[in-house]
Amino acid sequence: MLLYGTYGKFRHRDRMISMVDWNGNENVLDVGTGLGLLLIGAAKRLTTGKAIGVDIWSSKDLSGNFAAATLRNAELEGVKDKVEVLSQDARTLSFPDNSFDVILSNLCIHNIPPKEGRVQACLEIARVLKPGGVALVSDFQKTEEYTEAFLSKGLDVEKLGPFWRDTFLRLTVLKVTKKKA
């Protein structure tokens, strides 16, 4: 975990961010944003778009995890004007259907108990993803559960990885796309 925390997480973030064909005007959601690693990486790709990070800000899963720290990191990286952070549970997102062009999530959903809660989080991601949009969900476990949930809503799922040589965890990325209407 030390190697992931000091080195691997940045390589994995860059890998995930590069899986999106960015225009710069996307509306982005980072589910389980934590200290903002993916949120800030996405915001750096935006010109007119906006990136929103949601989390329940539990320090049990991530030390020092609170919204003010995420905003401070965004400020240090020069993207504070492109981001917003909200306290929200991934199982009950407040956004309207079809709100986001890109949804990102890394090492979050497995923390939601029980299986029904994890499935509900995936269904919420499917609901708020725009037709033609892409969600990238990365985790080291339970990705088959996530795949089944996304497929149940008619989304396409491509499994990438597992990546482990440079992340030091066996991370799988699910690239989920919602068909255009």
pLDDT tens digit string along 92-139?
Answer: 999 999 999 999 999 999 999 999 999 999 999 999 999 999 999 999
pLDDT band at 166 (very low <50, low <70, confident <90, very high): low
Q: How many Å separate Cα 153 from the centre of its chain?
A: 19
pLDDT score, position 17: 97
Give the pLDDT score at 59.
63
Under the banding of pLDDT at 50, 70 and 90, the label for residue 169 is confident
Count Cβ atoms within 10 A of the Cβ of residue 18 and give its class: 0-12 exposed, 13-18 middle, 19 or more buried: exposed
Mean of per-residue pLDDT scores for the chain: 91
Where does residue 115 rank: exposed (0-12), middle (13-18), buried (19+ CB within 10 A)?
exposed
Domain enclosing residue 162, as ranges: 2-177
Cβ count within 10 A of residue 174: 22
Give the neighbor-by-neighbor strand order of the sheet with 100-106.
Answer: 83-87, 50-55, 27-31, 100-106, 129-139, 171-177, 156-163
Confidence label for 2 from pLDDT (cuts 50, 70 and 90) = very low
Q: Note the pTM of the prediction, 2 decimals.
A: 0.92
Residue 167 reports pLDDT greater than 90:
no
CB 31 within 8 A of CB 103: yes
Q: What is the pLDDT of residue 142?
A: 96
Average pLDDT value for residue range 43-67: 85
- Six-digit token pair at 79? 């993207």
Could you tell me the CATH number of the domain that includes residue 104? 3.40.50.150
Number of domains in the chain: 1
